[in-house]
């Protein structure tokens, strides 16, 4: 753990079948005015909306609703929420849904009392937030992003064709509490379930593929990858396998709650590319990541060869006898790709609606970066072509 760190996590987690029973006691800690944020209609269909509304009413709260948050939430929705917060003097933003709903709620919190244009200030220019923010809490319904226990907020500006992420200050913007009942994820459509799994896998790998030091976080990341592979295979066979769904849910939360990133050099280039793919195609976030990842890792693996060999051996159990290091590393990437196929994730960008004309536009608008290898727009275009 050679890189110094300071760490304090503000999110209280309630996990399990009875987690929602803790909501009334938590509500006592906040004022009367609640902004309830949710997506299209899944929580109305599965009865969660009614249960939560009943608890809010019993606690004597005034509830204002913002519904219809898109997968890949829109900036216009964030502005609408910010207006509701101001007009109703909201004391708590309660997000009920997946990453999109929680991300949007954090954006609303930062934007409500912002002077000037929150998009320019907080997403484009990444300015620190000095205005008043409203506490956010969540009831999670889908496993993937870890937005329930981090301060990330990814917003799409449709007009500008930009999907930008902002990692707000953890203590300021991470949910005050999050309620995680794995049973809620049973009704998640299969494409979203596998997208969530791929998202978690990508978070783990983006934190793993960086640095050459011997770091405890890497061992933990390998362990969570193993658990995720195991649980995903079981959930694929039986989506109502509680043990498997609960493991996936916790892998997801651990995947990006910052604990596994401590003291780690990281590489978030796959996410940067996917965000722009999402801005052009609106494809599910994890599906885009699963298509790009193998192509990206084949493009960079020789620059971080020892880590790719370790990954192949420790995560995918590549025996390696009689193989060169390059062959072992490539076999690890091949097994990753075949795991994504096993889940049923499409293999090419074409299948998620990307056109050949989009590729240079996506490459040019992606924030360049990288880890073992510095990426420029021309490199990103090569990666996109390789998985088109």
Binding to ligand NZQ in span 249-278, by CB under 6 A: 256, 271
Residue 152 interacts, among ligand NZQ, Zn ion, none and using kind-specific CB cut-offs from 5 to 8 Å, with ligand NZQ
- What are the distances in angstroms from CA 173 to CA 129, 153, 154, 326? 10, 9, 13, 42
Identity of the residue, 149 or 333, whose beta carbon is nearer to ligand NZQ in the bound complex? 149
Judge whether 280 and 361 are in contact, CB under 8 Å. yes
> Please, which contacts does 12-16 make with residues 24 or more away whose CB atoms are closer than 8 Å?
12/176, 12/177, 12/178, 13/148, 13/149, 13/177, 13/178, 13/180, 13/253, 14/177, 14/178, 14/179, 14/180, 15/180, 15/181, 15/246, 15/249, 15/250, 16/180, 16/181, 16/182, 16/246
Residue count, binding to ligand NZQ (CB under 6 A): 36
The encoded tokens of residue 345 equal 């994730």
Which partner from the list ligand NZQ, Zn ion, none does 192 bind, CB cut-off 5 to 8 Å by kind? ligand NZQ
Report the nearest approach of ligand NZQ to the CB of residue 367 (Å). 13
Q: Does 41 bind ligand NZQ (CB under 6 A)?
A: yes
Cα–Cα distance, 197 to 224 (Å, whole number): 12
Q: Residue 303: CB partners within 8 Å, gap ≥ 6?
A: 372, 373
The answer to whether residues 63 and 56 touch, using CB atoms and an 8 Å cutoff, is yes
Q: Judge contact between 48 and 98, C-beta under 8 A.
A: no
Q: What DSSP character marks residue 387?
A: T
Cα end-to-end distance, the chain, whole Å: 39
Query: Could you tell which of ligand NZQ, Zn ion, none binds residue 147, using a CB distance below 5 to 8 A set by kind?
Result: ligand NZQ
Q: What is the DSSP letter of 161?
A: T
The DSSP secondary structure of 311-328, one letter per residue, reads HHHHTS----TT--HHHH
269 contact, one of Zn ion, ligand NZQ, none, CB 5-8 Å limit per kind: none
Q: How far apart are CA 288 and CA 296, in angstroms?
A: 12
Residue 110 and residue 99: Cα distance in Å, rounded?
A: 17
Q: How far is the CB of 253 from ligand NZQ (least distance, A)?
A: 11
Q: Does 365 bind ligand NZQ (CB under 6 A)?
A: no
Q: Which stretch binds ligand NZQ (CB under 6 A): 80-88, 179-187, 242-250, 294-302?
A: 179-187
The site partner of 71 among ligand NZQ, Zn ion, none (C-beta below 5 to 8 Å per kind) is ligand NZQ
Which string of x and - marks every residue 170-209 that binds Zn ion (by CB under 5 A)? -----------------------------x----------
Binding of residue 145 to ligand NZQ (CB under 6 A): yes
**Residue 81 contacts residue 37 (beta carbons within 8 Å):** yes
Query: Does position 72 bind ligand NZQ by CB under 6 A?
Result: yes
* Interface pattern 79-118 for ligand NZQ (x via CB under 6 A): ------------------xxxxx-x---------------
Under the criterion CB under 6 A, does residue 218 sit at the interface with ligand NZQ?
A: no
Among 23, 26, 30, 42, binds ligand NZQ (CB under 6 A): 42
Indicate which single residue of 11, 109, 138, 141 sits in contact with ligand NZQ (rule: CB under 6 A).
Answer: 141
For residues 274 to 313, the per-residue mask of contacts with ligand NZQ, x marking binding by CB under 6 A and - elsewhere, is -----------x----------------------------
Positions touching ligand NZQ (CB under 6 A) are 39-43, 46, 71-72, 97-101, 103, 141-142, 144-147, 150, 152, 154, 165, 184-185, 187-189, 192, 195-196, 199, 256, 271, 285
């Amino acid at each position: 753990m050679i890189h110094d760190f300071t760490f304090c996590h503000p999110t209280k987690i309630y996990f399990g079948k009875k987690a929602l029973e803790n909501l009334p006691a938590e509500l006592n800690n906040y004022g009367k005015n609640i902004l309830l944020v949710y997506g299209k209609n899944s929580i109305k269909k599965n009865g969660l909306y009614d249960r939560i509304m009943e608890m809010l009413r019993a606690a004597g709260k005034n509830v204002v609703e913002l519904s219809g948050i898109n997968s890949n939430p829109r900036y216009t929705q964030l502005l609408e929420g910010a207006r509701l917060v101001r007009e109703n003097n909201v004391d708590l933003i309660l997000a009920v849904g997946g990453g999109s709903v929680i991300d949007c709620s954090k954006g609303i919190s930062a934007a409500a009392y912002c002077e000037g244009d929150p998009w320019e200030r907080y997403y484009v220019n990444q300015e620190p937030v000095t205005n008043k923010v409203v506490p956010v809490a969540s009831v999670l319904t889908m496993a993937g992003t870890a937005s329930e226990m981090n301060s990330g907020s990814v917003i799409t500006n449709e007009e500008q064709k930009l999907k930008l992420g902002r990692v707000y200050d953890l203590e300021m913007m991470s949910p005050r509490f999050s309620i995680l009942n794995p049973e809620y994820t049973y009704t998640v459509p299969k494409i979203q379930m596998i997208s969530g799994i791929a998202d978690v896998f990508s978070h783990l790998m983006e934190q793993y593929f960086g640095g050459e030091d011997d770091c405890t976080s890497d061992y933990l990341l390998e362990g969570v990858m193993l658990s995720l592979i195991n649980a995903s295979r079981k959930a694929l066979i039986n989506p109502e396998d509680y043990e498997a769904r609960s493991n996936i849910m916790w892998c997801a939360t651990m995947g990006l709650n910052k604990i596994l990133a401590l003291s780690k050099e990281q590489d978030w280039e796959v996410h940067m590319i996917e965000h722009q793919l999402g801005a052009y195609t609106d494809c599910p976030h994890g599906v885009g990541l699963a298509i790009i990842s193998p192509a990206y890792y084949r493009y960079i693996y020789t620059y971080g060869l020892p880590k790719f060999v370790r990954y192949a051996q420790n995560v995918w159990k590549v025996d390696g006898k009689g193989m060169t290091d390059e062959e072992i590393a490539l076999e690890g990437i091949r097994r990753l790709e075949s795991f994504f196929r096993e889940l049923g994730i499409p293999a090419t960008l074409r299948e998620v609606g990307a056109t050949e004309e989009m590729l240079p536009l996506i490459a040019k608008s992606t924030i360049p970066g990288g880890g073992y290898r510095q990426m420029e727009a021309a490199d990103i275009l090569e990666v996109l072509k390789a998985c088109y």
